[in-house]
Amino acid sequence: MSTTKLDGLSLLLVEDEPLLRRQLAAQLERQGADVTAADSLAAARQWLKDGQFDFALLDVNLPDGLGPDLLREKAFPGATSVIVMTAQGGVAGAVEAMRLGAVDYLTKPFDPEELPLVIARARQMRSRVRLEEQKSGDTAQAARVFVFGRSLANVETQLEKIIQADTRMQTQLSPVLIQGETGTGKTTVARWLHQRGPRAAQPFVEVNCSALPDTLAESELFGHERGAFTDARTARIGLFEAANGGTLFLDELPSLSPALQAKVLKAIEENRIRRLGGSREIAVDARIVAATNRDLKELIAVGQFREDLYHRLDLYRIQIPPLRERGRDTVMLAEVLLGQLCKKQHLPAKRLSASGKQRLLACRWPGNVRELEHELERAIVFEGGAELNLEQLQTPIDPNKTAAHTDWLNPNFHFPPEGFVLDDAMAVLIGRALQQTGNNVSAAARLLGVSRDFLRYRLGGNKSDSALGE
């Protein structure tokens, strides 16, 4: 087992079984924790009245009542993270304790050497929550401007209407589907919706589905019971349960396997989940916000996404346009980001020069907001002076042209009476772009203002990167 150190942590151990109490206290003290032991609710109340603790290890069944009663009474200060212990068959009491604010639970009997690892995990969780609170407090207003502007007024109106519906319903909120290219701000929109809705005080759980290995994805989302698989030494709740009462943000949902997509669909439809290795269903009320940068209908056509899940998600649909379509709002967004990045770099405030704004508007921004942020930070670091020219963008400046560059179209063009085949025209444009760039797919995609994946899809996927160039 890992020798996870708990130096400097104070811990209240509430356990009435003398032998187990001594074993746990000894194990924790060997790891450097300062342990205070109590054998009843009354003793725990007295210690909580007189002292402060980083963590509490709380048995569910005690001689004078139930451990979760201390959570109901709000006897623990906000800075104390509570881990619950329960005998086999008492999981319902532990889940109730977590609903009341406990951060984790252990099912007896368990190996005392596992306890420092559980506490270390809870400690990391508490740190992440605290950092997230700080981040939210510092950037809540900036995030609003970051996402919205005049060009996204319709998106903001849609979200406001969703919040109004959420406020009326309160429970079992309908799912939201957010679509948009990579870097357009889908996560920020999801957080905006959560923070301004009726569940703002409840957890916002973010899951990057593309980062979940197939072998762990089900356990991460739905949890597991002790013994469900080789390393499942203790039961663990999943992210659906962790988000109970709040929001579960499933980013890049199509990355999940079709079998797991079916379980997600069932959880959304029935508001119930079953842990891996478990036999009973658990009620959950987590608002689902799903996001993707891919065309779900195309994925359905090739069997990579379930059509029934798509129709279940496609109720509140939010489409985030790419940065290149936001016009002058891009300048406003850049100025907001510039202020944040100067603070991050501990530098005085800087501003965009007139030429810097022109370069910014002329850029196609295939990486969207994420690319814009990186270019601004690069300019802050490498350019001197109070004004930034964004010379690294290397975009030709022509004050008589806008970023739209529509002068390539013959003004005398008329559609033929027999009609026009758009796919053929797209093929011609793609061919011209490849010819101009020497068959370099990435460069051609930049000229066309599309992603490299889109261009390869249009080419039919029958030409390799080595054949077409990087």
* CATH for 356: 1.10.8.60
The burial class, CB within 10 Å (0-12 / 13-18 / 19+), for 117 is middle
Which pLDDT score, from 0 to 100, does residue 364 have?
86
Q: Are 109 and 23 members of one domain? A: yes
Torsion angle of the four alpha carbons 320, 457, 256, 292, in this order, in degrees rounded to the nearest 10: 0
* CATH for 80: 3.40.50.2300
Provide the β-strand partners of residue 224: 236, 276
User: Mean pLDDT, 10 residues at a time, over the chain (470 residues)?
Assistant: 55 91 88 88 89 84 91 82 81 80 85 80 62 42 49 85 91 92 90 91 88 86 79 73 89 92 94 82 88 92 93 92 86 88 89 88 87 91 86 60 51 72 82 85 81 74 44
Q: Are 177 and 222 members of one domain? A: yes
Instruction: Report yes or no on 412 lying in a domain.
Output: no
Instruction: Report yes or no on 132 lying in a domain.
Output: no
Of 266, 294, 320, the position where a domain reaches its end is 320
Instruction: Report yes or no on 104 lying in a domain.
Output: yes
Which pLDDT score, from 0 to 100, does residue 408 have?
61
Instruction: Report yes or no on 143 lying in a domain.
Output: no
Tokens of 89: 């068959």
- Containing 292, the helix (H) or strand (E) segment is strand 287-292
Q: Are 245 and 386 members of one domain? A: no
* CATH for 456: 1.10.10
Of 304, 320, 336, the position where a domain reaches its end is 320
Q: Are 198 and 292 members of one domain? A: yes
Q: Are 377 and 334 members of one domain? A: yes
Q: Are 295 and 329 members of one domain? A: no
Q: Are 192 and 306 members of one domain? A: yes
Tokens of 299: 């994925």
Task: Please state the φ and ψ torsions of residue 416, each to the nearest 5 degrees.
Answer: -70, 150
Instruction: Report yes or no on 142 lying in a domain.
Output: no
Q: Are 329 and 315 members of one domain? A: no
Contacts of 28 (CB under 8 A, 6+ apart): 6, 11, 13, 35, 115, 116, 119
Q: Are 288 and 353 members of one domain? A: no
Which pLDDT score, from 0 to 100, does residue 8 have?
55
Instruction: Report yes or no on 62 lying in a domain.
Output: yes
The boundaries of the domain holding residue 287 are 156-320
Of 72, 100, 124, the position where a domain reaches its end is 124
The burial class, CB within 10 Å (0-12 / 13-18 / 19+), for 368 is buried
Q: Are 80 and 201 members of one domain? A: no
Q: Are 346 and 446 members of one domain? A: no
Whether the upstream peptide bond of residue 109 has omega within 30° of 0, thus cis, is yes
Give me the helix-helix angle, 115-147 and 186-196, nearest 10°.
Answer: 100
* CATH for 310: 3.40.50.300
Q: Are 110 and 216 members of one domain? A: no
Q: Which residue blocks in 405-440 are alpha helix, DSSP H? A: 422-436
Contact in structure between 254 and 299 (CB atoms under 8 Å): yes
Instruction: Report yes or no on 175 lying in a domain.
Output: yes
Q: How many distinct structural domains can be found in the chain?
A: 4
Which pLDDT score, from 0 to 100, does residue 401 have?
44
Which pLDDT score, from 0 to 100, does residue 79 have?
66
Instruction: Report yes or no on 50 lying in a domain.
Output: yes
CB crowding 317-355: b at 16 or more within 10 Å, else e: ebebebbbebbebbbbbbebbbebbbeeeeeeebebbee
CA distance 240 to 223: 8
